[in-house]
Chain A
């Protein structure tokens, strides 16, 4: 295992399906999970649409990757942050978002939902604390 553990923050700011950014970001997170880093995701602006539950893109011929977000807990992602103001500006709230569970099979520690709505100040703090910020 690597001795240097960095804090990785993936910042997602674009709506899913219209561009490849959302899916690409998710794939990088899933692949990067093998490297034992501390990984968090943040959703802002139109990026909050990525987490809205009950999506069905079959009409536009796209693969529905919405259910894939629920595996993030299995891929060692411990925190998923959503910007409150971005949700509010789009008439959304925490109830509209998918829930992502996290469990440590060794210690049986469980978190029922790692999706947290945060304010701008907290978002800034988290970006400042991160060693690496990937923006999609």
Chain B
């Protein structure tokens, strides 16, 4: 069934869309490995969003829809970052989908 990814020498299961099967297995290396698969170099700005998503999930138990993410990022990290242009520049496959995958969260509910 599940595919595996190799993170720091450990095999972690992912679902058919590449999302981590078990949320609790997440380590920062997951994001690094997944970003390499997507040919993306993670910068501090990427990590801000990834960490933000993890905190959001921790508090609310869901991955936010993209418009909710945009609003919340604007509130937390500054208005200049709270727009989809900025988020898409960081995560070209879609901020909610791709960033949530890097953060080890399930695919967001609803409009992504």
Contact = CB atoms under 8 A, between A and B. Distances in A.
Interface residues of B, number: 16
A74 B72 contact: yes
Contacts, number: 46
Contact of A105 (B59, B61, B71): B71
Nearest to B62: A68
B75 interface: yes
A23 to B, nearest CB: 11
Interface string B56-82: 000111101101100110110000001
B97 to A, nearest CB: 15
Name the prevailing secondary structure of the A interface residues.
helix
The 6 closest A-B pairs by CB, nearest first: A31-B110, A34-B111, A71-B60, A74-B68, A67-B61, A30-B109
A130 interface: no
Interface residues of A, number: 17
26 contacts: A27-B109, A27-B110, A30-B65, A30-B109, A30-B110, A31-B65, A31-B109, A31-B110, A31-B111, A33-B68, A33-B110, A34-B65, A34-B67, A34-B110, A34-B111, A63-B61, A65-B61, A68-B60, A68-B61, A68-B62, A70-B59, A74-B71, A75-B65, A75-B68, A105-B74, A105-B75
